[in-house]
């Protein structure tokens, strides 16, 4: 990672309301290869993983919100259910950022991360 990349990450983190620790962001994304992590109230999710994380999160949210005491002979297609939620206009920013629904993006190394500041 060169100086200009580190400088861009520093400026990005300073622009976030919660100002996540730059060293920790770089450590988690670059050194540990994490694809979904939190730093100081800011969530970072890599582009390569966000769709599956979003799907899993939607399924979990649906199961928590609705009493689905279904008979054994009824099976729910959870992937299709999550796809329906996405198709109904549910925005990824609103799902992962309950504060204001905003989503930012930044490249850390060669990976694009979606960023949600939940201040």
Mean pLDDT for each 10-residue chunk of the chain (119 residues)?
93 95 96 96 96 90 84 88 76 83 92 93
Q: What is the distance between the alpha carbons of residues 113 and 33, in angstroms, rounded to a whole number? A: 12
Angstrom CA distances, 50 to 5, 35, 66, 69, 85, stand at: 22, 8, 24, 29, 15
Q: What is the distance between the alpha carbons of residues 11 and 52, in angstroms, rounded to a whole number? A: 29
Q: How many CB atoms lie within 10 A of CB 114?
A: 22
Looking at the structure of the chain, the number of domains it has is 1
Token digits of residue 27:
């450590």
Task: Provide the residue range defining the domain that includes 87.
Answer: 3-117
pTM of this prediction?
A: 0.86
């Amino acid at each position: 990672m060169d100086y200009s990349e580190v400088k861009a990450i520093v400026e990005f983190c300073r622009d976030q309301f919660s100002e996540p620790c730059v060293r920790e962001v770089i450590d988690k994304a670059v050194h540990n290869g994490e694809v979904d992590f939190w730093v100081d109230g800011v969530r970072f999710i890599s582009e390569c993983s966000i769709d599956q994380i979003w799907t899993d999160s939607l399924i979990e949210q649906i199961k928590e919100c609705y009493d689905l005491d279904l008979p054994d002979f009824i099976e729910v297609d959870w992937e299709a259910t999550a796809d329906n939620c996405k198709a109904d206009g549910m925005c990824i920013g609103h799902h992962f950022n309950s504060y204001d629904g905003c989503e930012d993006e930044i490249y850390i190394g060669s990976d694009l991360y979606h960023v949600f500041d939940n201040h």
